């Protein structure tokens, strides 16, 4: 019986990943004319991954029930963190088309208004303030290039 | 006596107003680029190199060396305050430095980092002055089997990075090693694990991965609760912002450990400050009276790696100046500069151009003092960043992360990778996998595979070459001892339990 779901699932994923590494490494040369080939090192890494992941799976079958309960509880708040991550990925996707400044302001507004339920005006102020600071420090002072839109920033 | 005379000659060169001015400019610029993630000393020196062609050559090398060791110090600031490693060698500083900041000891962490950098930087310069030629000859005895053993010793440090589960730490390490294999194979130019992405042919950008795992992962964990987690306590009063006498006393061994390991590893071409910082952290934890507290905000956990990555700057100049061998990107660019200016770095450089060598040595003494004088008063100012409300702090961290990662290669792909590694870092925190073990694998993977395959080529497949040579055998023995430590501890705790049960 599985006592620690989190550990068991992560170990199972790592074991599958290890099998994938082995399968790719097996298609590469293990030995080349000059010595060990490109498949040599990843093959042993894959084997190590499968072995240790199997060990973790076995260990997760015997871990105490109380510990497992505590762990499942901590996942309840993950929704907010994942929403923030999705917002970050959307902002990254927009960097090429609307530039760093605007996509950063949009991201900041999402974090402050949607996730933190604070006034929109505050979010706009923080977003613009930080975007201007970044522009002054990195673009103007340090000559670092940032993704731009057609309007120039 | 001869060295003293040479050093006096060096000071007479370094203390001229123009050299002093450029030394100051160098350390300030270095600290600034160290603070910003992504923009490292190699890129800055490369950008400024053309400007130095019209300068006096000794002045130029003094300014560029100032950037080099200034950046080593600067990297700790964002690691401690925001959990964003400014430099790859500052990754380990995040472990205890950021935890100290969360407990209201950001000032003490920044202060001890400045002091450790000063002490170790000075030891590094002393080493450069006194043992450069013999150490350079010793470093030349490092062939692939010795490098393999050194990398294994570095990997053994995973024992000290593991939290509750050693198996999880080893799994994280293996994933890190696998990430290092992504891209074009070192020997056959065959692509591996690139998922059809041309941009992965050059491998995964290290800064993108570390910023993702540490900074983005941390922000995600803190954003779980509405209103943000109350992450920072702040000490009141200037006195509480600086390290105490007790802190300095606690860090005595850390200063020594960081200085020696940083200098020796720095002198080995290809090993680098990141390896030195991991090794010194591991050693510090191994000899500590409270190893279980490492990772929760222990001041020695900041002093040792910060010392190591600064002493490394002195060590890295040993093979460069005495043999003409660059140990890493930054020293390779410095070598280019020396050749551009008409010097031939090698065994005769010190004899033929004493003013250059001794001027540089003396300027590094002065530069280390300047770094301390400049940075200690700035500690309270830097610590104020933690007073920002979280709804400003989190977007600030995300913004610095995006800008820092993008600025390395002007690549949006790297920013995507940072986002993906951010999710990985978050999941690792939630599942109690140590993120530092993953980074350790990434740092050492490339060098480990190269050294292993070169060794096996040397011996035509005979694996005993790895342990048969004296230096590699000794290093592997130490690695094996370190790897056995958790088993020994476990057996000891079982014995104590058994004795208690019996009594």
Kindly report, residue by residue over B246-278, the tens digit of the pLDDT: 999 999 999 999 999 999 888 887 667 888 898
pLDDT-based confidence at residue A63 (cuts at 50, 70, 90): low
State how far the alpha carbon of A76 is from the alpha carbons of A72, B390, B393, in Å.
8, 22, 24
- Return the number of other C-beta atoms located less than 10 Å from residue B233's C-beta: 12
Look at residue B195 and tell me whether its pLDDT is greater than 80: yes
For residue A36, give the nearest of B174, B394, B456 by CB distance.
B456
Judge: B192–A42 Cβ closer than 8 Å, yes or no: yes
The CA radius of gyration of chain A, in Å to the nearest whole number, is: 24
What pLDDT does residue B411 have? 92
Judge: B395–A145 Cβ closer than 8 Å, yes or no: no
CA distance A66 to chain B (A): 16
Cα distance between residue B37 and residue B88, in whole Å: 9
What pLDDT does residue B451 have? 92
What pLDDT does residue B240 have? 62
- The structure tokens 């720095």 sit at B266
CA distance A91 to chain B (A): 10
Look at residue B234 and tell me whether its pLDDT is greater than 90: no
What pLDDT does residue B214 have? 87
- The structure tokens 């003293």 sit at B4
Domain count, chain B: 1
Look at residue A74 and tell me whether its pLDDT is greater than 60: yes
CA distance B308 to chain A (A): 28
Judge: B168–A36 Cβ closer than 8 Å, yes or no: no
CA distance B398 to chain A (A): 8
For residue A81, give the nearest of B39, B221, B461 by CB distance.
B221
Residue pLDDT, tens place only, B79-91:
888 888 877 778 8
- B57-64: average pLDDT: 84
- B343-371: average pLDDT: 81
What pLDDT does residue B491 have? 84
Look at residue B462 and tell me whether its pLDDT is greater than 80: yes
Q: Which domain, by its residues, includes B267?
A: 2-502
Cα distance between residue A122 and residue A128, in whole Å: 10
Residues in chain B within 8 Å Cβ distance of A14: 171, 175
pLDDT-based confidence at residue A18 (cuts at 50, 70, 90): very high
Torsion of Cα atoms, B135 then B140 then B145 then B150, to 10°: 30
Residues in chain B within 8 Å Cβ distance of A36: 452-453, 456-457
Q: Where are the domains of chain A?
A: 5-73, 78-141
CA distance B390 to chain A (A): 10
Are B139 and B147 within 8 A, CB to CB? no
Top pLDDT among B214 and B35 is at B214
For residue A81, give the nearest of B223, B449, B456 by CB distance.
B223
Cα distance between residue B484 and residue B474, in whole Å: 15
What pLDDT does residue B1 have? 58
Look at residue B46 and tell me whether its pLDDT is greater than 90: no
| Average of per-residue pLDDT values in chain B | 84
A11-20, B92-101, B332-341, B367-376 — most confident range: A11-20
End-to-end distance of chain B based on CA atoms, in angstroms? Answer: 65
Look at residue B174 and tell me whether its pLDDT is greater than 80: yes
Bridge partners (DSSP) of residue B191 are B184
pLDDT-based confidence at residue B378 (cuts at 50, 70, 90): confident
What pLDDT does residue B128 have? 82
Cα distance between residue A94 and residue B387, in whole Å: 31
Residue pLDDT, tens place only, B210-228:
889 988 998 898 888 766 5
Judge: A85–B415 Cβ closer than 8 Å, yes or no: no
Judge: A21–B395 Cβ closer than 8 Å, yes or no: no
Judge: A36–B410 Cβ closer than 8 Å, yes or no: no
Are B71 and B34 within 8 A, CB to CB? yes
For residue A77, give the nearest of B224, B227, B423 by CB distance.
B224
- Taken in order B125, B129, B130, B133, the sign of the CA dihedral is positive
What pLDDT does residue A1 have? 66
Q: Which of B366, B468, B316, B451 is nearest to B118 (CA)?
A: B366
pLDDT-based confidence at residue B233 (cuts at 50, 70, 90): low
- B109-123: average pLDDT: 88
Residues in chain B within 8 Å Cβ distance of A78: 224, 430
**Of the ranges A25-34, A140-149, B432-441, which one carries the lowest mean pLDDT score?**
A140-149
pLDDT-based confidence at residue B236 (cuts at 50, 70, 90): low
For residue A84, give the nearest of B165, B220, B415 by CB distance.
B220
What pLDDT does residue A64 have? 55
What pLDDT does residue B55 have? 80
What pLDDT does residue B90 have? 82
CA distance B491 to chain A (A): 18
What pLDDT does residue A48 have? 97
Cα distance between residue B96 and residue B292, in whole Å: 12
| Average of per-residue pLDDT values in chain A | 88
Look at residue A92 and tell me whether its pLDDT is greater than 80: yes
Angle at B405 (CA atoms; ends B404, B409), nearest 5 degrees? 110
What pLDDT does residue A108 have? 96
Top pLDDT among A5 and B44 is at A5
**Of the ranges A19-28, A67-76, B32-41, B377-386, which one carries the lowest mean pLDDT score?**
A67-76
Alpha carbon A84 to its chain centroid, in Å, reads 12
- Taken in order B458, B459, B464, B465, the sign of the CA dihedral is negative
**Of the ranges A65-74, B351-360, B398-407, which one carries the lowest mean pLDDT score?**
A65-74
**Of the ranges B24-33, B411-420, B429-438, which one carries the lowest mean pLDDT score?**
B24-33
- B300-318: average pLDDT: 88
Judge: A111–B433 Cβ closer than 8 Å, yes or no: no
């Amino acid at each position: 019986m599985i006592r620690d779901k989190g550990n068991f699932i992560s170990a199972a994923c790592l074991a599958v990943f290890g099998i994938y590494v082995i399968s790719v490494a097996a298609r590469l040369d293990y030995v080349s004319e000059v010595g060990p080939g490109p498949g040599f090192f990843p093959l042993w890494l894959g084997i190590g991954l499968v072995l240790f992941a199997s060990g973790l799976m076995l260990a997760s079958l015997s871990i105490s029930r109380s510990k497992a309960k505590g762990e499942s509880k901590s996942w309840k708040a993950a929704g907010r963190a994942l929403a923030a991550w999705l917002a970050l990925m959307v902002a990254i996707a927009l960097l090429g088309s609307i530039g760093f400044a605007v996509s950063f302001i949009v991201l900041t507004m999402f974090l402050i208004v949607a996730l933190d339920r604070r006034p929109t005006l505050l979010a706009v102020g923080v977003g613009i303030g930080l975007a201007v600071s970044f522009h002054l420090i990195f673009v103007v002072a340090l000559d670092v290039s940032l993704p731009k839109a057609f309007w120039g920033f | 006596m001869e060295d003293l005379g040479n050093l006096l000659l060096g000071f007479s060169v370094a203390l001229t107003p123009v050299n002093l001015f450029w030394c100051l400019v160098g350390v300030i610029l270095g600290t600034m680029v160290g603070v910003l993630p992504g923009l490292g000393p190699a890129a800055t020196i490369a950008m400024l190199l053309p400007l130095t062609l019209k300068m006096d050559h000794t002045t130029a090398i003094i300014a560029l060396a100032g950037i080099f060791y200034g950046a080593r110090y600067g990297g700790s600031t964002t690691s401690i305050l925001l959990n964003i490693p400014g430099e790859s060698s500052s990754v380990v500083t995040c472990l205890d430095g950021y935890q100290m900041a969360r407990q209201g000891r950001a000032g003490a962490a920044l202060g001890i980092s400045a002091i450790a950098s000063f002490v170790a930087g000075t030891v590094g310069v002393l080493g450069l002055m006194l043992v450069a030629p013999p150490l350079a000859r010793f470093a030349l005895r490092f062939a692939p089997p010795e490098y393999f053993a050194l990398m294994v010793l570095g990997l053994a440090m995973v024992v000290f990075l593991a939290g509750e589960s050693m198996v999880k730490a080893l799994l994280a390490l293996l994933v890190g090693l696998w990430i290092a294999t992504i891209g074009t194979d070192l020997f056959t130019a065959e692509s591996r694990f690139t998922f059809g992405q041309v941009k992965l042919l050059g491998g995964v950008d290290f800064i993108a991965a570390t910023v993702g795992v540490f900074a983005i992962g941390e922000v995600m964990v803190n954003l779980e609760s509405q209103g943000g987690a109350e992450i920072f306590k702040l000490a009141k009063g200037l006195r509480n912002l600086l390290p105490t006498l007790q802190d300095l006393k606690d860090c005595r061994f850390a200063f020594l450990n960081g200085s020696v390991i940083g200098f020796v590893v720095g002198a080995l071409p290809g090993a680098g400050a990141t390896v030195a910082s991991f090794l010194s952290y591991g050693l510090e934890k191994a000899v500590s009276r409270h190893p279980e507290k490492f990772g929760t905000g222990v001041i020695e956990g900041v002093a040792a790696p910060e010392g190591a990555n600064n002493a490394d700057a002195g060590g890295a100049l040993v093979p460069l100046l005495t043999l003409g061998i660059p140990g890493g990107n930054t020293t390779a660019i410095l070598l280019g500069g020396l050749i551009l200016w008409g010097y031939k770095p090698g065994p005769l450089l010190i004899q033929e151009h004493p003013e250059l060598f001794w001027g540089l040595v003396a300027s590094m003494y002065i530069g280390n003092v300047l770094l301390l004088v400049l940075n200690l008063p700035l500690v309270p100012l830097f610590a104020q960043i933690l007073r920002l409300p979280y709804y400003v702090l989190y977007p600030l961290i995300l913004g610095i992360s995006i800008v820092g990662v993008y600025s390395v290669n002007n690549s949006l792909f790297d920013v995507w990778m940072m986002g993906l590694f951010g999710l990985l870092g978050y999941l690792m925190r939630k599942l109690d996998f140590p993120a530092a073990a993953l980074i350790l694998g990434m740092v050492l993977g490339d060098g480990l595979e190269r050294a292993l395959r070169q060794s096996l080529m040397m011996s035509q497949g005979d694996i005993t070459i790895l342990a048969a040579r004296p230096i590699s055998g000794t290093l592997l023995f130490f690695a094996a001892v370190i790897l056995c430590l958790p088993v020994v501890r476990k057996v000891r705790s079982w014995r104590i339990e058994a004795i208690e049960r019996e009594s």
